[in-house]
A = this chain, B = another copy of it.
Amino acid sequence: MSPEQTSLLQGTLDLLILKSLRAGEMHGLGISRRIQQLTGGTFVVKPGSLFPALHRMEEEGWIAAFWGESENNRRAKYYRMSKAGQKQLEAETKRWSRISLAIGQALEAS
């Protein structure tokens, strides 16, 4: 029953976070849930992975944070993608395409 989840590849988390935020601003756990949904349950990002990544990306200038209130009246930190984040998303998407293509073609070989 448990949706056999794979531990994610290093370097993939940022991509998924940015992609999630493209839909609009969101708080941490919301992002986590969205990733799980976007990947059909394959990737489950736990707090210990998520928050360090968010902080790193904020420092990097790809996302901006502000305090707000969640749907459940709880103090929550919301994140919004910046213009630099948009560029980063494009860059990482390209990177993923290249990687995915390369490995795919390696695996298809005789």
Q: Report A's interface with B, CB cutoff 8 A.
A: 6, 8-12, 15-16, 19, 23, 35, 38-40, 42-43, 93, 95-96, 98-107, 109-110
Copies of this protein in the complex? 2
Q: Most chain-B CB neighbours within 10 Å: which of A12, A43, A100, A106? A: A106
Do residues B98 and A38 form an inter-chain contact, with CB atoms below 8 A? Answer: no
Q: How far is the CB of A39 from chain B (nearest CB, A)?
A: 4
Pairs of residues from A and B, 5 with the lowest C-beta to C-beta distance, nearest first: A42-B102, A38-B106, A39-B102, A10-B10, A9-B9
Give the dominant DSSP class at A's interface. Answer: helix
Whether B103 and A15, one on each chain, are in contact in the complex, defined by CB atoms closer than 8 angstroms, is yes
Cβ of A42 to closest chain B Cβ, rounded Å: 4
| B6 near A40: Cβ-Cβ < 8 Å | no
- Which residues of chain B have C-beta atoms less than 8 A from A95's C-beta? 6
Other than A6-B102, A12-B103, give 5 A-B pairs with Cβ distance below 8 A.
A9-B11, A10-B11, A19-B107, A38-B109, A100-B100
